[in-house]
Amino acid sequence: MKVKSKVWKRSLMLCTTLFAGVIFFGTGNSAFAEKVVTIELDGKVLKLSQPALIKDGSTLVPLRGIFEALGTEIEWDAKLQQVIAHKGAKLIELTINKPTASINGETVTLTANAVIINGNTMVPLRFVAEALGADVSFNSNLNKVSIISVKTESAFEQKLNEIYTSIIDPSMTDLQKVYTLNKYIVNHVTYDFDNFMNDTIPKESYTPEGALLKGVAVCQGYAEAMKLLLDKAGIENTIIIGEANGAKGWEGHAWNLVKLDGEYYHVDTTWNDRDLIRSSDKSPAPFGDVRLDYFLASDKKMLVDHRFQTEKYPKSGVKFELFSNTTPTAETKDRIIVSRPNNDFTFSLFIIDKDGRDISGSLPQEKVTGFLNELNVDNHLFYTIDQQTGEHTMDLYRVTLDGKDKTLVAKNMNGNPKIIGNDVFYYSTVYDPERKLPSKTSIHRVSLNTGDDKVILDDALMLSITNNYIYYHDYKGGQTDIHRVTLDGASDTVIAPNINFGNYLFTDDYLFYVEALDYSVGLENRKSRVHAVQLENQQDIFLFEEKSVTFVGYKDGVLTYRVGTQTKTVKVGS
């Protein structure tokens, strides 16, 4: 949250800009009337039949000579006394003795009327910058105009343009543009939470530069970055300065108000970022940190935990309330599928088209309990529904992204199924109907092309699928082993013999496990012997022994584990 006032700073910037206008563009002293001025283009003096001059306090330059030097085609309509210029997709129209000109149909006001002097159309120097995007300046001491043909972009301007052109397609609707910009900022900016909590926020975290160049900001940086991108998209917007009830209670806060379809809506990119909530939210997140709780929200929605001077801003619309409390789950070019949590730990799915209309049909009636690792495969969404038998069995469905074609892929699944190529792998458990206990587990492969469901391993519990191998354990003769088997079930190898049941950790590179405990040793002296198996070459490496080890995680070559209440680490590999 945290908003830092910039009113004085902006006022000073405005004054500086206006002062620069007086210096560079000669809008002041008429005592210099019709002084001859030298013109330089990209550091070289232009030799023109009509030089630039100062007339009635304005610096005037010959339009044809400069425009043609900058690669612009000129047409002259003598009857209308009008200049028509073309450069690429840009169309410029200017009429003699008229106080305005047109650039691609948009009217611009001239600091002085265009006039004809010695048969040459003379225009104010500022108009060259507005029309052709050049950097122009005037040195009053040397009576020299300097023109740089291409504006030099700052690193931030380059980044801003790079972001915009890489994610925004001109064919998008305004809704799609706002959605895409919200998604980009949320996924590429990290909330400066620790500095916020410690009241040590650096100045750059309040800025759009901090957000887009450094990738770290508080709410003001988020909101200003969003505003700049919305401005580039031509979407009317403003920043609301108010308060929000967050981690430290009510604090100053900033967010955006955008205009879509003639009405205004709130977009709070900060509060749409999971970085800020720091919760144990396990809802599906195929698009990173993005949630849509505060995306195109109404005043009513915002005022639950935000407050602002409502009389200062336009009243909001309510057209897009479908986005409230949702997470994007899948996308196509012209629709978004979002999920909303229900009160029973399930999700409902909704399909929203590119204009914000609900085209879900009957899809929200599903009570979805989970999603596959690859949510969108071949324009299908894969999700699971609990059978509500109390045995943790699920059915797997896939539905086309228009919500019209739903297919049952697999029944009676347990654990997390996974798609590899055109197959779904899962394991199922058969329960003893009398004792209601698991009596048999098996690993299956379902072809997405034909729907065939084949058992590839019996009496096996699938643990992981990594690097095109299935890893499973079996329990025979009082011993638990972990196996690696090829996806067709043909080649089966024990990679971790006689482990302590359930005490293992899979990563992309390693299997960590604890040897079966020696119960002949007293509890006080009993140790956990920890191993790491390199999955690529199946090399088993003994790491250490400690009393009662529980695995926590593995990252960047470091294994984290617990011994009692202590958390410890050990470096693994070279």
Distance CA(231)–CA(237), nearest Å, equals 7
Q: Residue 303: what pLDDT?
A: 96
405-449 pLDDT, tens per residue? 888 888 888 777 888 888 888 888 776 666 555 467 888 999 988
- Give me the mean pLDDT over the 137-161 stretch: 82
Is the domain spanning 153-325 CATH 3.10.620? The answer is yes
Residue 283 has pLDDT above 70, yes or no: no
For residue range 226-259, list pLDDT tens digits in order.
999 999 999 999 999 999 998 889 999 999 999 9
Whether the predicted pLDDT of 511 surpasses 60: yes
How far is it, in rounded angstroms, from Cα 481 to Cα 226? Answer: 54
pLDDT of residue 312: 93
Domain range list for the chain: 7-148, 153-325, 492-574
Report the pLDDT value the prediction gives residue 439, as an integer from 0 to 100: 60
Nearest to 255 by CA among 509, 552, 3: 3
Query: What would the pLDDT profile of 261-273 be if each residue is shown by its tens digit?
Result: 999 999 999 999 8
pLDDT digits (tens, 9 = 90+) for 69-113: 888 889 999 999 999 988 876 789 999 999 999 888 888 899 899
Nearest to 485 by CA among 443, 450, 515, 452: 443
- Mean pLDDT, all residues of the chain: 83
* pLDDT on residue 212: 95
Mean predicted confidence (pLDDT) in 283-302: 80
Quick one: average pLDDT of 299-323? Answer: 94
Residues, the chain? 574
Which pTM value belongs to this model? 0.61
Whether pLDDT at 22 is above 70: no
The closest alpha carbon to 266, from 323, 221, 228, belongs to: 323
Confidence of residue 35 (pLDDT cuts 50, 70, 90): low
> Could you tell me which CATH class the domain 7-148 is placed in?
alpha beta
188 in Cβ contact with 201 (< 8 Å): no
| Beta bridge partners of residue 177, listed in sequence order | none
